[in-house]
Structure formats: structure tokens, C-alpha cells
Amino acid sequence: MTTLQDLDQLKQAAALKAVDYVKDGMVIGLGTGSTAKHMVIALGEKVKAGMTLRGVPTSQETAALARQSGITLIDTENRWDIDVAIDGADQVDPAFNLIKGGGGALLKEKIVAASARQFIVLVDHTKRVPALGGTFPLPIEVVPFGWGSTAREIERLTKSRVVLRERQGNPFRTEAGNLIVDAHIDRIDRPEELESALNLIPGVVETGLFVGRTDILIVGTPQGVDVQYAPRR
């Protein structure tokens, strides 16, 4: 049986492999979450060894860890040229499509991923799934105004149960001040179509579907680290 400690070691192994793609002088998109945390710490070790890097963090949590690790951060309100973004995922399907947003940073994560020349995704082997959905709900960031009506339209579209995310009994707020609803969809067979349809609903800010964005998938497995390259698009 794979324990949480085992999974954390697999995440760390994937993160250590990912930083091999980072070269001196690069601007790095810094993801958020337990796997990305290992990556930020590993990059900090490279900085201590003399490498020059600048980072664009996808959350305040990541920004704090990056500063603690000695990574220089770029003003997030400026225009960036990001060489590579590295982040984790909650689910990955065989076409390298993702569900992200379990930690609530999906909006910033997608902006950074879309701005990067290369997007590297780190997961442990349990995050691989035959199809997105099912065991993990789809996070959707919505504006607070009329969120209940927005959730109703999401339910109609997806034919699923949509739940407002809460933390300690209160609605969870993203760093942008928005809410997140989680759509419990049994199976997402056409993620690109679903992403487009959800983004047409007034009140939807962004979805946790990352479709066609992954360039390199790095998977920590009990047998070692597996590196896969996305087919050319």
C-alpha cells in the first residue's frame, strides 16, 4: 500500500527531475501545491549554488516560499516573458489534459501556464486517470455576484452536482476575491468542448480544465520517474 509519505517522496522525485530543465538566467513560472513546493525548494538550492533565476509565483503561498528559498520574484503586475512554468495537477488524462484548482489558485496558474514558452506538469502516479472527473471534482472560479445563478447554469450544462467550496464553515475566497464551485462530474470525455462552454456562462471567471497546455509530463512512480512529451500540436 502506498502511504502519504511514499507519495510525497514520489512528488519530490518528479520535482527534482523537472528542475533539470531549468537553465541559468531563466524566468520560471512557479506553481502552487504540495508537488510544486518541492520544485520551489529545489530551485532555491540551485540559486544557492550560483544559478540566477527569476520567478513568477501563482499564489501568495508560493511567493513566500520562493523568497524564503532565495528566488528573486518579478512584479506580478508587469508583462513577463516566462521561459518555463512548472506546476502540479489534480488529474491527468492520457492526452495530458488536466484538472487543476484543488488548492484554489487555478486562475493565476492558468495565466502563468498560458504565458510560458513551455509548461511542465509534475504528478505522482495516482493522478493519472483514464478520463478526467469522477473521483475529483472540477473547480470553477466564479464572481460572487449572483454565484448561485451561475452555479445553476453550470449544473444545467454539466448535469452534475455543483457545490460552493467552503473553508472553516465560510465560503472559500480566491486571492482575486472570487468564489470556487466544485462540479462533481462523473466523466469528462470532451474537456476542450466543456471548457469552452463553461467559459460562455456569465459569472464564470475560469475553469480548472487545462486543455492542450502540457508540454512535458513528469510522473513519480514506485518504479522511478517517468518523463513523457506531449505530441506536437
Task: List the catalytic residues.
Answer: 109
Binding residue numbers for substrate: 32-35, 87-90, 100-103, 127
Using an 8 Å Cβ cutoff, are 116 and 55 in contact? no
Grid cell listed for 88: 502540479
> How many residues are present in the chain?
233
Grid cell listed for 44: 532555491
**AA identity, residue 84:** V
Provide the β-strand partners of residue 86: 30, 120
Phi and psi at 98, nearest 5°, equal -125, 155
